[in-house]
Structure formats: structure tokens, C-alpha cells
Amino acid sequence: MKANELRRMYVEFFEKRGHKEIGSASLFPENDPSVLFTTAGMHPLVPYLLGEKHPQGKRLVDVQKCVRTGDIDEVGDDTHLTFFEMLGNWSLGDYFKKESITMSYLFLTEYLNIPVERLAVTVFEGDSLVPRDTEAAEIWIKNGIKEEQIYFYGRDENWWGPAGKTGPCGPDTEIFYDMGKEKCGEDCGPACSCGKYVEIWNNVFMEYNKNEDGTYSELLQKNVDTGMGLERILTIFNGYNNVYGTELFQPIIENIESLTGIKYTEDNKKTFRIISDHMRAATFILGDPRGVTPSNSEQGYILRRLIRRTIRLVKKFGVDSNIICRIAEVIIENYGEIYSELVKNKDFVLQQLEKEYVLFSKTLDSGLKMAERYFSKLEEGNSLSGDLAFKLYDTFGFPIEFTVELASERKINVDMFAFEEKFREHQEKSRKGAAEKFKGGLADNSERTTKLHTATHLLNAALRKVLGDSVYQRGSNINSERLRFDFSFDRKLTKEELEKVQKIVNEAIEKGIDVVCTEQTLEEAKADGAIGVFESKYGEIVKVYTIRGYSKEICGGPHASNTAELKSFKILKEESSSSGVRRIKATIG
């Protein structure tokens, strides 16, 4: 089965069961400070999971592009990826566990013909606060899963949320495929990392609210949020033992073989896989409608890390020319029909990759000079300390393999034990940071952040009025203290321009204008002059928020009901975000 066939089969399966298809959202969550990237299909649906009405109804299905960086150092094995596509279906206060589990089981066993005996499922085992999820287990058994295929685990494995100290949360049930390997021991099960079991689908049941006193109460609106990795299920259906055997990666791998003159073998497969994965992720990040450029902070830093790691590995193959742009062209060609934004932004993608290649080549030269300086102070038989080896890696982006190779030429050792200790500390900090950034993705939807969200619409409108219609939103981030708004513009704003922008927003606030929400087709919204990143597919119903005389934007909400609720607006700072993108930080009264 081909990837596009699987995408359509999944969507049509749920459409036949009353779900409406929604388009893939941006890789950059709008107004969500809890994450750098869209890591799951739920992010664009946050307001609706919290009770707001979705224009498409209570049953939704989509194929969402995602980026996860918490396991970036695991990439190169059989299953971990940085960029991936998530097949998802949702119930917003409609069906619950019985229907969700039954549909998942039916799709896997009857539509994909996966043998029931190759499946294993995990269920929440319960604790002193929330009871064991016997309901989910019983539903699985009624569908055909045997008791010995059901595993009960605690909160670490089978509980979702809340995103903060309080809020919606609940148990989940995860579906695994048995790869046919022998168990690694008596306790081997889906939670084991030995590779026998691969997770393919996760059904989250948001049925509780965690209260401030630590107790749990049942939610009035119970939701179902599911996600299944396209690459993993495509791998399993086609009988491959790793995701890189699929059509999604084979053209990329073949292209790398052609460009380097090196064949993909067991010995070098990890290098090939990392290059393929990282270039695919970098291409999608750059090609996104809200795409960022490489930088030293947030999404731009992750993007830079992906590109530079790729360049290092290409150079490891002995290739000194820039081939990463040609790899990106193959990726754009492969995905262009499904994700048209890649074709639309192709020139930008290639331009940024070329700039980063030139810049990093110089950085790599600096690393070589620093390495030479360290080695010049050592004699034969001495060891380069783990601290210095890690500094070369972390500060100069100098791969440890290069350091070891250079040391070997001088008959100098490298304290790899100390280096690996430093590296593990670095990994742990990265993972903790990622975990802190992604605790589920439900952003703070307090009254104040809702008002700040409305303020971004007024700010966008004011910027376009002062600077021209070529200005458009490139991203936003809101917390309870301030808003941050990124927009396309190629120079620093003058003091006079900032004063005009602030004045326009405050005028709108003083007028006390109602914020009106209407539901229209995408075509109607465009015809009415609504602005926004038009990601949804033609003909879909979208929400349009209008502040008469100022702003008309396609947006998911939530918003204040009247501009007077904002009280006042003040710009705190204006600065560069990245090349061609400016950033404003502001607050309200």
C-alpha cells in the first residue's frame, strides 16, 4: 500500500462514520507557549477540546504534519522520526470509549487486515485517585482482544494531562504491534524498549478535570483524541522492519546514494537515515506557511541543529559540495502533491539551506582551528579531556567522530567516558526541556490570555495599516503576562511607526467594538477580505472573527467579546526575530 492510499483510506473510514475532514495545520502552534512545534494533531484543536464549538461539528478526522525533538538523538533506529504525519480522529463531547476503541479495532483488523494476534493494548491500571479503567479493557475483549494481550500500566504509560497544575485529563489506551521478536525477559511487554512491541495508535479519553486541591471530578464534555503514526502503520502494513523501507524514504536514500556515490549498507545505514530524516524535517519547517529561518533560539535553533547535523554527516561521507539543496528538491517533489506549501515556498527553502551551508562551513573551519589548538598542547599518549571534546561538540558543532579521528592521527586519546557523561547530561537536560515544553499542549486559556489573543488581531491589523498589506503574521506566542507577535518585514520599525501602531490598537479598545464570530466557507471568507494562513482545504467551514473597522481574520479563537475588555495596549519591545521577520512584544491593561 502507498502512503497516499493509506491517508485516503483512513480519512474515508471515519468520514463514513460521521467525521468531517479538517486540513493539516501549521507546524507552529498559534498562541500556544507550551510547545515549539505542533507535536500532535490535538494542538490546533485546543479551544474545541476545552468546549468551544468547532465549525465542522463534533466528529473530526485529519492527517496532521508534526515535529517532535525530544527523541532527536534516537533518530536512525527503526522507528524514531523528527518529522512525521499523524492520522487522527476526535470526538468533541460526542462518542466515547466504546465507539472509539471499536472503530480503531475495526480499521486495523478489517481494513488493514492486521492479524488480531499481532496486537497488544495497554490500559490505565488505576491508583488511589482514579479507578482502574476496566471499561476500556472490557471493550477490547468484546471486540476480540484476549486478556493476555491486555497490559495494565500506571500514569507514566497510560495517563494524559493535565497540561498545567489543573485542567482536563484522563486515561488512554495504546495499541501496539508485535514485531515477532522473542521477549527479552519475563516482564517484557509493550512498555519495554527492546523492540518487540511498536506503538501504532493512542486513544486518549479526556474524562476528568484535575482540581486545585489535587482531586479529580468528571468533565461535562468528555473528549476522545487519537493519533496513529502514518510512517509506522505504513511500515507494518507493507511488512518492512523499519520506516526507511517505505516509499516515503526510499527516493531520498536513493538520491543520497547518487549524490555521494556511496551505497546504503548495514554499516552506514544510520548516517543515511539521519540525513534523510533531518532533511525531511528541515524542508517541512522551512516550507511551512509560518516557516522560520535558522537562528540561535527556539524553533530556529532546532532547525539550525537539524541542518548542521546533516551537513556534518554529508562531509563525513567525504562530500565537500553542497548537496543538501538537491536532497530537499527530491523531498519537495515527493510531497508536493499532498502539501502544496512546499512547492509554493520552494525558492525560500533552497535559499535558506544554501545560506546555512555557507555559514556552517565557516563555523566548521573554526572548530578545526580550535581542535588544533587543543591538540597542540598535548603530547603523544596524552588524552583530550571529555570537557574539551564536549565543548568542541556543543559550542562549535564539531562531531565527536571528527575529534577522535584527528586525535588518532596525532596518537592522542580522547576521554570518551567523560565525554559520554557530559553528553548524557546534555541529553537529559534536552529531554526535560522538551517534556516541560510539551506536557500535552493545552495552552493557558485563562481570561487574560483570551484577551491577549484578541489583541494580536488588532496588532496585526494596525501593522498592516501602518506598514502596508505586504505584512503578514509569521507566528505568535501568548502567556499570561504578554503577547509576542512575529510578522514579515525587512527592517526595524521607527519610533513614530510604533507609536502609530499602538495608537490604532488603543483607539479600537476605546471604541468598545464587539468581536463578532461567523462561520463561512473558506472561499466566502477570502471573498469577504478575511486574512489568515489559508491551510484548510477548499470548501471547509471556518471561523471568522471580525472587529468592525479594524480586523477580519480566520482563527480558531477564543476571543474577548468586546475590545473594551482589553482596557489598554502597550508595546514593550520591537526586535528582529530572524531574516525578514520582526517581533513585537506587548501587553494589555
Which are the contacts of 231, defined by CB distance < 8 A and separation ≥ 6? 81, 84, 85, 243, 246, 248
Please name which of 234, 223, 237 lies closest in space to residue 99, comparing C-alpha atoms. Answer: 223
pLDDT-derived band at 442 (thresholds 50, 70, 90) equals very low
Give the number of domains in the chain.
3
Residues 173 and 262 in one domain: no
Q: How many CB atoms lie within 10 A of CB 558?
A: 23
Residues 125 and 96 sit within 8 Å (Cβ to Cβ)? no
Q: Which of 177, 287, 289, 301 is nearest to 243 (CA)?
A: 177
Model confidence band, residue 438 (pLDDT cutoffs 50, 70, 90): very low
- At 218, list the grid cell: 468528571
- Mean pLDDT value across residues 100-113: 96
Residues present in the chain in total: 589
Angle formed by the axes of helices 324-335 and 346-376, to 10°?
A: 150
At 426 the pLDDT is 76
Per-residue pLDDT reduced to its tens digit, 482-513: 888 988 898 999 999 999 999 999 999 999 99
Q: What is the pLDDT, as a whole number, of residue 432? A: 58
Q: What distance separates the 2 farthest-apart alpha carbons in the chain? A: 78
**Same domain, yes or no: 275 and 232:** no
The residue range of the domain holding 14 is: 3-241
- From residue 302, how far is each of 38, 305, 396, 472 by CA, in Å? 13, 5, 15, 23
Q: What is the mean pLDDT of the chain?
A: 88
pLDDT at residue 431 in the model: 57
Confidence band (pLDDT; 50, 70, 90) for 33?
Answer: low
- Reported as a single tens digit per residue, the pLDDT across 218-262 is 988 999 999 999 999 999 999 898 999 999 999 999 999 999 999
Report H helices in 28-96: 46-49
**Assigned domain for 377 exists:** no
Residue 309's pLDDT band (cuts 50, 70, 90): confident
Surface-to-core class of residue 338, CB atoms within 10 Å of its CB (0-12 exposed, 13-18 middle, 19+ buried): middle
CA 510 to mean position of chain CA atoms: 38
Q: Note whether 231 and 88 are same-domain residues.
A: yes
Does the residue 425 lie in any domain?
no
76, 201: one domain: yes
Residue 445 has what pLDDT? 63
Q: 61: left (phi > 0), else alpha (psi -120 to 50), else beta?
A: beta
**Closest to 172 measured CA to CA, from 197, 195, 201:** 201
Decide if pLDDT at 312 tops 70: yes
184 is in an annotated binding site: no
Same domain, 207 and 75: yes
* Amino acid, res. 127: D
User: What CATH number did the domain enclosing 173 receive?
Assistant: 3.30.930.10
CA–CA distance, 298 with 184 (Å, rounded to integer): 39
Residue 365 lies in a domain: yes
Task: Please check the confidence at residue 290 and state whether its pLDDT lies above 90.
Answer: no
Q: Are residues 512 and 491 in the same domain?
A: yes
DSSP string, 434-501: HHHH-SS------HHHHHHHHHHHHHHHHHHHHH-TT--EEEEEE-SS-EEEEEE-SSPPPHHHHHHH
Q: Which three cell numbers stand for residue 579?
A: 531574516
User: Which three cell numbers mark 167?
Assistant: 485542567
What is the predicted pLDDT for the residue at 303? 92
pLDDT at 429: 67
- Dig out the grid coordinates for 308 from the structure: 548542521
- 536: domain CATH number is 3.30.980.10
Residues 300 and 217 in one domain: no
Write out the three cell numbers for 350.
533552497
Q: 429 lies in a domain?
A: no
Distance separating alpha carbons of residues 467 and 419, to the nearest angstrom: 51
Q: What is 4-29 written as a DSSP string? A: HHHHHHHHHHHHTTT-EE-----SS-
- Which of the 8 DSSP states describes residue 537? P
From CA 474, how far away is CA 587, in angstroms rounded? Answer: 19
Instruction: Average the pLDDT over 40-44 and give the result.
Output: 82
CB 543 within 8 A of CB 519: yes
Do 363 and 223 share a structural domain?
no
What is the pLDDT, as a whole number, of residue 430?
Answer: 58
User: Nearest Cα to 330, choosing from 271, 280, 286?
Assistant: 280
* Residues 213 and 272 both lie in one domain: no
| 457 annotated as a binding-site residue | yes
Cite the beta strand spans of 93-196 per DSSP E: 119-124, 150-153, 159-160, 167-178
Residue 419, domain member (yes or no)? no
Residue percentage of the chain with pLDDT more than 70 = 94
Whether residue 332 has pLDDT greater than 70: yes
- Same domain for 192 and 257, yes or no, is no
Q: Is residue 382 part of a domain?
A: no
Q: Is residue 477 part of a domain?
A: yes
- Where residue 440 falls among pLDDT bands split at 50, 70, 90? very low
Contact present, 161 and 179 (Cβ < 8 Å): no
Examine the fold and report which residue of 342, 370, 398 is the final residue of a domain before the chain moves on. Answer: 370
Boundary of a domain, candidates 336, 353, 370: 370
pLDDT higher than 90, residue 577 = no
| CA 528 – CA 269 distance, rounded (Å) | 52
Output the DSSP codes for 316-353: HTT--S--HHHHHHHHHHHHTTT-HHHHHTHHHHHHHH
Least confident interval from 259-268, 357-366, 378-387, 453-462: 357-366
Indicate the residue among 241, 266, 288 that finishes a domain: 241
Same domain, yes or no: 235 and 282: no
115 pLDDT band (50/70/90 cuts)? very high
Checking if the pLDDT of 29 tops 90, the result is: no
Cα Rg, the chain, nearest whole Å: 25
Higher pLDDT, 370 or 33: 370
Q: Are strands 167-178 and 197-210 parallel, antiparallel or unpaired?
A: antiparallel
Q: Mark whether 220 and 254 lie in a shared domain.
A: no
C-alpha grid cell, residue 376: 597542540
Identify the sign of the CA torsion 558, 560, 562, 566. negative
pLDDT(403) > 70:
yes
Report yes or no on 399 lying in a domain: no
The tens digit of pLDDT for each residue in 151-194 reads 999 999 999 887 667 778 999 999 999 988 899 888 899 999 88
